[in-house]
Amino acid sequence: MFVESYDGSCPSQVCVLWLPSAGIMMNLIRYSSMTSIKKIMFGLVLLSLLSIWFLSYNMMTPLRGDHDRDLHLKLPPSQALGGSEGHPARRRQGKHSPAADQDDLHLIPAALIITERSDSVFAYNLTSALEANHIDFTSVQIKERHWPRLEHKRTGKFSIIIFQSIHSYVSLDPYLLNTIHEYCRKYNVGILAFAVVREDDNGYTRQVGEFPVYMDQRLSLKDLTINPSASDVLHITKAGQFINGTIPYNDWTVFRTDHESYKPLVQAKTLSQDSLQLRSPSEVLHTTVLMDQGHFDGIQRIFIGNNFRFWLHYILFLDSVSFLSQGLLQKSLDRYIQVDIDDIFVGMKGVRMTVQDVEALLLEQQVLADKIPGFTFKLGFSGKFFKRGNEEEKAGDEALVMHADKFAWFPHMWNHAQPHMFSNQSQLVADMRKNFRFAKSHKIPVEDSYAVAPHHSGVYPAYPMLYNAWKQVWGIKVTSTEEYPALRPARKRQGFIYKDIMVLPRQTCGLFTHTIIMKQYPGGRERLDSSIYGGELFQTIVNNPINVYMTHMTNYGSDRLALYTFDNVVNFVQKWTNLKLKAESPLDLAIKYFDMFPEEQDPVWTNPCYDKRHLEILPEKHNCNRLPSFLVIGPQKTGTTALYTFLSLHPNIMSNLPSQETFEEVQFFSNSKNYYKGLEWYLNFFPQVDNTSTDLLFEKSATYFDNVYAPRRMHWLLPKAKLIAILIDPAKRAHSWYQHERAHGNPASLNHTFYEILTSGPEAPRPVTLLRSRCLDPGKYIQHLQRWLQYYPPNQLMVLDGDLLRADPVVAMVKIQTFLPINAFIDFTDKIVYDDKKGFYCLALRKGRTRCLGKSKGRSYPPMDAQMEIYLRHFYQGFNVQLLAYLSSIDQPIPAWLNEALTES
């Protein structure tokens, strides 16, 4: 009635709406005339609905990483942060005083990173460090035209602003700089910037923007001291420590200032020739990390005179983030350490443990326990290999068993076989039982409810039989793996819970079965030392609140590399940091882990075909050519069965086999019970396709569309899949569902009219409210589409007009084939024909006969009466308005029914 077109023409009665997310001005709604107050009212309602949608869409909390729609937003002056209503500059009262308590302002714990070039190594390291520490961030390039919005209502979206380079900070566009500074003052948010040496920097003194600070670059340093009076700023880093001698790298920046606002956090001396250049005696201390306490202009800042390559800067960076964010991005100092020694009896003669090795192990365990209360090594055993070494090593095995009660033990398989090689559960159970009996007969205490599988086999990719057998034989509650969701990058490893077993992520410490003696350590001792003394291993402990390390028996014999490693890294951590090293049982660790990261509990199955290591531990019958390349995702009652049937007519398109359990549909991603049956279960629904074939496999489950879990799960497994969603008028869909339920004898639908169901309130009996929500919720299309497009790019989604599919399926099939795309394009004209009796298109058989869908598809029932139509029009109006705008913004065609539904409103 009111909305005629959205064709961009703009006569006098046009209502113009600003849709910044698409970055375009759209003439969305044109009123044919303004003859009644009702129309004006409608226009206003529509305008507010769109505004609400715009706000909710564009003000979403930033996601971790730079995949953030806010980045598309320009920062127009009208949305200036704080702007004229900003508060006068405030000084921070004390350490980490939350702005949220003041003046009803709120701050989201997230960082905004402003990079010079997002593809630089430093920018990558910066974002990786935040990811490794579970810190949410949004990253924007300095040259980006569209900057993220900094605040929404009275909530600041970033609790720290990080500039990759001081240079780009101080030379920022004055309007943006002012905007950021106002924001920082308003929310007490600090700024962190690094002095990255640029190629055109000549090393001479230069002023840092308009601040009373000067910096000298390209210097070499020695004798570094961490300011003993900086403990109010430093959290992880121990104040007052010093390093004597040369500091690596020769591109250091030092800062000079006389202003009382500035305080050195780290100082060092320059090497002699640089002292000459600076005309300062060599004993003078220069500041390499400088803090602006905010007395200058009301903003706290930290300038760091280099990047991350020097290990100390890594923890100083984390401390700076924690301090400048008012502690919102601060992590606990507790670090739990578990060291597993896998395969304590498995190894070749000559590299196994002797009695002396066992004694050394016990001694070091005591040393570590003094520093990490409660620490014991966890020994994993496969009984079959007990005493398989030479005479000395046999005695070593006996010594291990003699001291069994001094260690914690966990089971492997009896013969160290990989669980995924067992084709049935009883064999797996039998193998585990042998190990169980071995533990009993040798009085090995296995009390931790913890087990580890050889080579991660069966843990991930998850092999349900392993989990079942573990529970049956050992009552296992916790395991660990490095493989979820993938070995690399290590910072992205996560935990999950499957079949009530908590799977902890494991960290790597650089020790493997082949790292037996120092001389042969890849990269030599220097490499191992650099990992221990501030490098990878040290940073792993810094990053991870819970550290489960896998080592191997061979690391404890010969050179005892593992003892060297852990002894030194623990000393190093304790010397340089305030971290509190702790130990707990695996069960307590797992409970702590999932308390900290509850969002990781639900597992996702990734595509093993993309990961060589996962492929190696897959059951033989797994086949990479059995995954669908496109899916019809629903929603229900939109013609999904018709489309499924028509697609199956194509000689090069193959559907999933029907499921007996779930009404023919597989419903893998939407039904947790099915999902947790595992990948193998899903694959069995698909025929095997030849490696060289261009045939496409597809699956149709109409329950996916409105399911909250489906997009994320599907994206993990099938990130490249194309998706088809069929949309019909949601009012008709709701009515069709009601009729479907009547046909299936649902008492709520039989005892209540459609109108009664629709108008029932929350106090109505559960079956009634449930039916109401199943009628109405899937039709809130905008909400569901937005969820899918959080995971999939718009070009992988096709929104198919369900009316077109019903009225002209031949044309619909042309559109679909183009979208997929399919090599062998076929014309469906002779394959799908209209059947007068059914009143729908059906499959054409020979001699003019047809085969139509069953009675349950295309039912005849009385049409909705006017009252219900009005109710539903009104109910869906807001959703439909948003849908229209959203589909336009992602370049999807607008279904005719959507225009009509809005016109009729």
Which positions are annotated as active-site residues?
A: 637
Task: State the minimum distance, in angstroms, from the CB of residue 773 to ligand A3P.
Answer: 18
- CB of 245 or CB of 854, closer to ligand A3P: 854
Q: How far is CA 334 from the centre of its chain?
A: 24
566 binds ligand A3P (CB under 6 A): no
Exactly one of 515, 636, 667, 749 binds ligand A3P (CB under 6 A); which one? 636
Tokens coding 420: 């995924």
Closest CA relative to residue 541, chosen from 565, 512, 515: 565
The letter for the amino acid at 373 is P
Smallest gap from residue 802 Cβ to ligand A3P (A): 7
Query: Cβ(338)–Cβ(540) under 8 Å?
Result: no
Q: Which residues contact 418 (CB under 8 A, 6 or more apart)?
A: 453, 454, 455, 457, 458, 617
Nearest Cα neighbor of 877 from 852, 902, 846, 850 is 902
Minimum Å distance from CB 838 to ligand A3P?
7
Which span sits near ligand A3P by CB under 6 A: 47-55, 103-111, 306-314, 856-864?
856-864
- Nearest approach in angstroms of CB 861 to ligand A3P is 7
DSSP H or E stretch at residue 219: strand 213-226
Least spacing, CB of residue 804 vs ligand A3P, in Å: 10
Give the CA distances from residue 736 to residues 635, 638, 730, 732, 740, in Å, rounded to whole numbers and listed in that order. 12, 9, 10, 6, 6
Q: Does 853 bind ligand A3P (CB under 6 A)?
A: yes
Of 49-57, 154-162, 259-267, 639-647, which segment contacts ligand A3P by CB under 6 A? Answer: 639-647
**Residue 325 · residue 109 · CB < 8 Å:** yes
Least distance to ligand A3P, CB of residue 476, Å: 43
Q: Is 841 annotated as a binding residue?
A: yes
Question: Which of 433, 592, 857, 873 is close enough to bind ligand A3P by CB under 6 A?
Answer: 857
Interaction between residue 49 and ligand A3P (CB under 6 A): no
CA angle 482, 486, 487 (to 5 degrees): 50
Which of 285, 852 has the CB closer to ligand A3P? 852
Of 383 and 858, which has the nearer Cβ to ligand A3P?
Answer: 858
Site for ligand A3P (CB under 6 A): which residue of 639, 678, 730, 895? 639
Alpha-carbon distance of 118 to 725, in angstroms, equals: 35
Residues 90-129 as x/- pattern, contact with ligand A3P by CB under 6 A: ----------------------------------------
Binders of ligand A3P in range 746-765 (CB under 6 A): none
In this structure, are residues 503 and 484 in contact, taking their beta carbons and an 8 Å threshold? Answer: yes
Per the DSSP assignment, residues forming a β-bridge with 304 are: 194, 289
Q: In the complex with ligand A3P, which residue's Cβ is closer, 130 or 727?
A: 727
C-beta closer to ligand A3P: residue 188 or 655: 655
Cβ 670 to ligand A3P shortest distance, Å: 14
| Position 882 contacts ligand A3P (CB under 6 A) | no
897, 728 contact by CB (below 8 A): yes
**Residue 510 has what DSSP assignment?**
S
Instruction: Pick the closer one to ligand A3P by CB: 169 or 841.
Output: 841
d(CA 738, CA 712): 29
Ramachandran assignment for 218, one of left (phi > 0), alpha (psi -120 to 50 degrees), beta (any other): left
User: Which one of the spans 212-220, 529-537, 857-865, 882-890 is the region binding ligand A3P (CB under 6 A)?
Assistant: 857-865
774 touching ligand A3P, by CB under 6 A: no
- Contacts with ligand A3P in 664-723 (CB under 6 A)? 702
Q: How many residues bind ligand A3P (CB under 6 A)?
A: 18
Contact between 585 and ligand A3P by CB under 6 A: the answer reads no
Does 640 bind ligand A3P (CB under 6 A)? Our answer is: yes
DSSP state of 821: T
Using the rule CB under 6 A, is 851 a contact of ligand A3P? no
| Exposed / middle / buried, residue 635 (Cβ in 10 Å: 0-12, 13-18, 19+) | buried
* Contact status: 800 vs ligand A3P (CB under 6 A): no
| Closer residue to ligand A3P in complex, CB, 640/877 | 640
The answer to the question of residue 868 lying near ligand A3P (CB under 6 A) is: no
- Answer positive or negative: Cα dihedral of 656, 659, 665, 666: negative
Q: Smallest distance from the beta carbon of 869 to ligand A3P, in angstroms?
A: 16
Q: Does 806 bind ligand A3P (CB under 6 A)?
A: yes
Q: Any contact of residue 335 with ligand A3P (CB under 6 A)? A: no
State yes or no: residue 878 binds ligand A3P (CB under 6 A). Answer: no
Which stretches does DSSP call E strand in 809-885? 832-835, 840-844, 850-851
Q: Which residue stretch of 302-310, 428-436, 633-641, 655-663 sits at the interface with ligand A3P (rule: CB under 6 A)?
A: 633-641
Alpha carbon 179 to chain centroid distance? Answer: 30
Residue 736 is labelled as binding a ligand: yes
Q: Can residue 384 be called a binding residue for ligand A3P (CB under 6 A)? A: no
- Token pair recorded at residue 544: 């991870």
In this structure, which amino acid lies at residue 422?
F
Task: Report strand pairing: 111-115 vs 160-163.
Answer: parallel
By CB under 6 A, residue 742 contacts ligand A3P: no
Interface with ligand A3P includes 730 (CB under 6 A)? no
Residue 642 found at the interface with ligand A3P (CB under 6 A)? yes
Strands in 478-481's sheet, in edge-to-edge order, are 478-481, 501-505, 496-498
- Residue 196 Cβ, how far from ligand A3P at the closest point, in Å? 57
Count other C-beta atoms under 10 Å from residue 443's C-beta: 10
For residues 198 and 215, the answer to whether their CB atoms sit within 8 Å is: no
Check residue 796 for interaction with ligand A3P (CB under 6 A): no
Contacts 24+ apart (CB under 8 A), 805-811: 805/639, 805/642, 805/643, 805/726, 806/639, 806/642, 806/728, 806/840, 806/841, 809/642, 809/646, 809/841
Q: In terms of CB distance, is 267 or 736 closer to ligand A3P?
A: 736
**Number of Cβ within a 10 Å radius of residue 268:** 24
Q: Is 307 near ligand A3P (CB under 6 A)?
A: no
Residue 637 lies near ligand A3P (rule: CB under 6 A): yes
Residue 58 or 670 with smaller CB distance to ligand A3P: 670
Q: What are phi and psi of 193, to 5 degrees?
A: -145, 150
What is the C-alpha to C-alpha distance for residues 542 and 535, in angstroms, rounded to an integer? 10
Q: What is the nearest approach in angstroms of ligand A3P to the Cβ of residue 743?
A: 9
Residue type, 838: K
Interaction between residue 552 and ligand A3P (CB under 6 A): no
Near ligand A3P in 825-844, by CB under 6 A: 840-841
Site for ligand A3P contains 739 (CB under 6 A): yes
- Shortest Cβ 903–ligand A3P spacing (Å): 22
- Does 484 engage in binding with ligand A3P (CB under 6 A)? no
Residue ranges that bind ligand A3P, judged by CB under 6 A: 636-642, 702, 736, 739, 805-806, 840-841, 853, 857-859
Binding site feature residues for 3'-phosphoadenylyl sulfate: 736, 841, 857-861
Binding site feature residues: 736, 841, 857-861
